[in-house]
Amino acid sequence: MPPKAILIDIEGTICPITFVKQTLYPYALAALPTYLSKNWTATNPLITAFPQADTATPEALVEHVRTLTVQDSKSPALKALQGHLWQAGYESGELVAPIYPDVLPALRAWRSRDVRVYVYSSGSVRAQDLFFRYSCEGDVRAVFNGFFDTGVGAKVEEGSYRRILRECEGEEGAEGWVFLSDHVGEVRAAMEAGMMGGVVVREGNARLGEDDKVGMWVIEGGFTEVTEKLFSE
C-alpha cells in the first residue's frame, strides 16, 4: 500500500551535507559581529536565548556561537540566530540553497498521488522556510504540507516522531508514514515510533557501518529509488 505521508530530513538527504557546514555556518559567523554591533540590546530575544554567562559582551557571544558551531550544536538558540543571519544572505542572493536534481520530481510525483510531504530538520522552521524559498529551483515551499524542527524534540528520540504524528494525525498511529534521513540514529527513532524508515546515502555523507545496515532500508538510488519502492509494490 502506498504511503499517506513522507517525512524528510534536509542536510545530507535532499541537499549536499557540505552546504550547511561549508557555506551556511561560515556565513553566519562572518555576519554575526556586524549584527551584534547594531542590535546589542538587553531585550533582543536572539541574544537573551543564550546563557547569561555567554552574553556579557558581544565578543563573548561571538566566541560562544563559534564554539557551538564547531560542535555542530543543535541548540535552539543557535539555530534561531543562524536563521536570522541567513535570511539577509538569501535575500541578497549571496546564498542559494542547492537541492539534488532527483528530489523535486519525486516530491511532486508523491503529491500528485495525494501523499503529504513534511520536513523535519534540526534547522529552525524559519531556516527551513528560507531554504525552500530561495532554492536553486526557486520558491518550492508549496510542495510541502508542513515543517518541524527540534521544537518537537531531538531527532534521535522516538517521542519526537510521536509528537509529529499527534500534530498531523491527531493520534500516534504511524501506519502509512515514512521517514527519510541520512542519519541512522534518526531513522531508528522514527522506526521505534512505528514509521517505515530509510537511510539516504549521498556523496559526502557519513559512511555506514555493517551494523548500521542491519534491518535498515539503505537508499543508494536517491529519491528515484524511493518512488519506485513505495509506489510499485
User: Which cell goes with 200?
Assistant: 539516504
Looking at the fold, whether 12 and 57 belong to one and the same domain comes out as no
> Which residue among 92, 117, 140 closes a domain?
92
Looking at the fold, whether 105 and 163 belong to one and the same domain comes out as yes
Looking at the fold, whether 74 and 116 belong to one and the same domain comes out as no
> Which residue among 92, 116, 138 closes a domain?
92
Looking at the fold, whether 86 and 106 belong to one and the same domain comes out as no
Looking at the fold, whether 162 and 211 belong to one and the same domain comes out as yes
Q: List the domain range (segments joined by +) for residue 63.
A: 19-92
- Mean residue pLDDT of the chain comes to 95
Looking at the fold, whether 128 and 219 belong to one and the same domain comes out as yes
How many angstroms separate the CA atoms of 156 and 190, rounded?
A: 8
Looking at the fold, whether 214 and 157 belong to one and the same domain comes out as yes
Record the pTM: 0.89
Number of compact structural domains in the chain: 2
Residue 123 pLDDT grade (very low, low, confident, very high; cuts 50, 70, 90): confident
How many angstroms separate the CA atoms of 86 and 122, rounded?
A: 15
**179-226 pLDDT, tens per residue?**
999 999 999 999 999 999 999 999 999 999 999 999 999 999 999 999
Q: What is the pLDDT of residue 170?
A: 85
How many angstroms separate the CA atoms of 18 and 166, rounded?
A: 33
CATH code for the domain of 31? 1.10.720.60
Torsion of the alpha carbons at 30, 36, 38 and 44, rounded to the nearest 10: 140
Q: For residue 140, give the nearest of 155, 119, 168 by alpha carbon.
A: 119
Percent of residues, the chain, with pLDDT higher than 90: 90
Q: What is the pLDDT of residue 74?
A: 84
Q: What is the pLDDT of residue 45?
A: 97
Looking at the fold, whether 12 and 59 belong to one and the same domain comes out as no
Looking at the fold, whether 121 and 139 belong to one and the same domain comes out as yes
Q: For residue 121, give the nearest of 85, 98, 147, 144 by alpha carbon.
A: 147
> Which residue among 92, 127, 149 closes a domain?
92
**Mean of pLDDT values over 30-38:** 98
